[in-house]
C-alpha cells in the first residue's frame, strides 16, 4: 500500500474494487445530492492568505480532542455498514486509526459487534449510537459501551427519518446498517429530554453529532454536552442543506470556546482541514475518505491515506507560514469564487491516461 503516492490513487482503487451498488452507497447522498455539492462548494469558496519569510522547519500537526492526542486533527467518523466495504468492517477502521495515531468512532450499525471492534486497536475510541429501541434497549447498549472501554458516546441527531437516498432505491440496495431495521421513521422520538436521560446513565462524555445551526449548539451546551459536532451527515439526510463549513463560524461563535467544535462534510484534503481549523474547529472528521481507503486495501490503505493527508497538512502549513495549528485564525482565509473549483480529486477521471503515460525521453 506504500505504492499509493496520492489520495486520488486510493479512491481509484476503491472504485475498481467495490461493487457499483456499494460504491454508490458510500459516495452518494439524498435526492438531488445538493447537500454533498454544497459541502464541497463551501470549502472551495475559501481561499488562503499565505504569509512568507517565516521559519517553518519544525511543523507540529498534532491536536488534542477531549483528552485524546491526535497525530493530525483528522479522525474517523462513524460509517454504517462498513462490513459491506471491507472484510473486517469496523475492526479494520479501529485498527488502522489507532495504528496511525488518530481516533476511530465506531458506528452502532457497523459490524462486527462493538466489543470486537473496540478490541481491534489499543488507542482511544468513541462509540456512535442511533437510538432505535426502547429505553431498556438503550440502557443495555450503553452498559456494553462502557464495559468495552469506549471513551465517549456520540449521539447522532440528524436522522429523525432515514434520508431519501435515491441511488440506493434505484438499485434496490439495502445497506448493512439498514437490514432488519424498521421503516423510514428512524429516530423521530429522539429529543432533548432523551439526550438528558442518556447523559444521566452513560457515565461518559456525550458528543452531539448533526448540529446545523447556532441555536441548537446553544441548546446542546445547556444540556451538558462535551463537544458539538457540526454535520449534515455528509449530505445523506436533508437535501439542500447548508454546507458544513458555512455553518461552522456561527456555531463557533455560539460555543465561545466552552467545548470543542468538530466538523465533517466533504473534508478530503489537508488544505480542507486547515480551512476548518482557521475558522475555529478543534478537529475535522472524515467519512467517505476512510471508507474509500478501507475499500482500496483495508487497514493498511487506511493508514496510507492518513499519511498522505498528513503530508498535505505539513506542506500546506509550511506554505501558509505556520508551524502549529494554534497559529491559524480567520485572517488566513477569505471568500473566493467557488465556481473555479473542480472538486477534491480533479484528476480522478484522467487517472487511467496519467497512469499509462510514458515518461518523456531523457535529454
Helix (H) or strand (E) holding 23: helix 20-27
Closest CA to 75 of 88, 89, 94: 94
Q: What is the DSSP string of 125-188?
A: -EEEE---S-HHHHHHHHHHHHHHT-SEEEEE-S-SS----HHHHHTT---GGGTT---S--ST
Which of 12, 19, 233, 240 is the catalytic position?
A: 233
**Quick one: DSSP state of residue 41?**
H
3-state secondary structure of 310: helix
Please check whether residue 133 is in contact with residue 160, taking contact to mean a CB–CB distance below 8 angstroms.
no
Active site residue 290: no
Q: How far is CA 211 from CA 5, 129, 230, 245, in A?
A: 35, 15, 5, 12
Give strand pairing partners of 155: 129, 208
Hey, which residues does 126 pair with through a beta bridge?
Answer: 105, 152
Residue 195's nearest CA partner among 182, 185, 209 is: 209
**SS3 assignment, position 202:** helix
CA distance 39 to 242: 7
Phi, psi of 183 (to 5 degrees): -80, -160
Beta bridge partners of 48: 333
The DSSP code for 27 is H
> Would you call 35 exposed, middle or buried from its count of C-beta atoms within 10 A (0-12, 13-18, 19+)?
buried
Query: Catalytic residue numbers?
Result: 233
Amino acid at each position: 500500500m506504500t505504492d499509493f503516492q496520492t489520495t486520488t490513487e486510493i479512491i481509484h482503487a476503491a472504485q475498481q474494487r467495490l461493487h457499483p451498488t456499494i460504491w454508490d452507497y458510500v459516495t452518494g447522498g439524498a435526492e438531488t445530492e445538493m447537500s454533498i455539492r454544497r459541502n464541497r462548494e463551501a470549502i472551495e469558496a475559501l481561499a488562503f492568505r499565505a504569509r512568507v519569510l517565516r521559519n517553518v522547519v519544525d511543523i507540529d500537526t498534532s491536536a488534542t480532542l477531549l483528552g485524546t492526542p491526535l497525530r493530525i486533527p483528522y479522525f474517523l467518523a462513524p460509517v454504517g455498514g462498513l462490513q459491506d466495504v471491507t472484510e473486517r468492517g469496523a475492526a479494520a477502521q479501529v485498527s488502522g486509526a489507532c495504528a496511525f495515531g488518530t481516533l476511530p468512532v465506531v458506528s452502532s450499525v457497523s459490524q462486527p459487534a462493538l466489543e470486537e471492534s473496540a478490541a481491534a486497536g489499543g488507542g482511544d475510541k468513541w462509540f456512535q449510537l442511533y437510538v432505535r429501541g426502547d429505553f431498556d434497549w438503550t440502557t443495555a447498549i450503553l452498559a456494553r459501551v462502557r464495559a468495552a472501554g469506549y471513551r465517549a458516546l456520540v449521539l447522532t441527531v440528524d436522522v429523525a427519518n432515514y434520508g431519501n437516498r435515491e441511488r440506493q432505491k434505484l438499485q434496490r440496495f439495502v445497506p448493512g446498517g439498514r437490514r432488519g431495521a424498521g421503516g423510514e421513521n428512524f429516530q423521530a422520538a429522539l429529543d432533548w429530554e432523551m439526550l438528558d436521560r442518556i447523559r444521566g446513565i452513560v457515565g461518559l462524555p456525550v458528543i452531539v453529532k448533526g448540529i446545523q445551526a447556532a441555536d441548537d449548539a446553544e441548546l446542546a451546551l445547556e444540556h451538558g454536552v462535551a463537544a458539538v459536532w457540526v454535520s449534515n451527515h455528509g449530505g445523506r439526510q436533508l437535501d439542500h442543506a447548508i454546507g458544513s463549513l458555512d455553518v461552522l463560524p456561527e456555531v463557533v461563535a455560539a460555543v465561545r470556546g466552552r467545548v470543542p467544535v468538530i466538523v465533517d462534510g466533504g473534508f478530503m484534503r489537508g488544505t480542507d482541514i486547515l480551512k476548518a481549523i482557521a475558522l475555529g474547529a478543534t478537529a475535522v472528521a472524515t467519512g467517505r475518505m476512510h471508507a474509500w481507503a478501507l475499500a482500496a486495501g483495508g487497514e493498511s490503505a487506511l493508514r496510507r491515506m492518513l499519511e498522505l493527508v498528513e503530508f498535505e497538512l505539513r506542506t500546506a502549513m509550511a506554505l501558509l507560514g505556520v508551524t502549529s495549528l494554534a497559529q491559524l485564525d480567520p485572517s488566513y482565509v477569505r471568500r473566493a469564487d467557488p465556481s473555479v473549483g473542480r472538486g477534491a480529486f480533479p484528476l480522478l477521471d484522467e487517472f487511467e491516461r496519467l497512469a499509462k503515460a510514458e515518461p518523456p525521453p531523457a535529454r
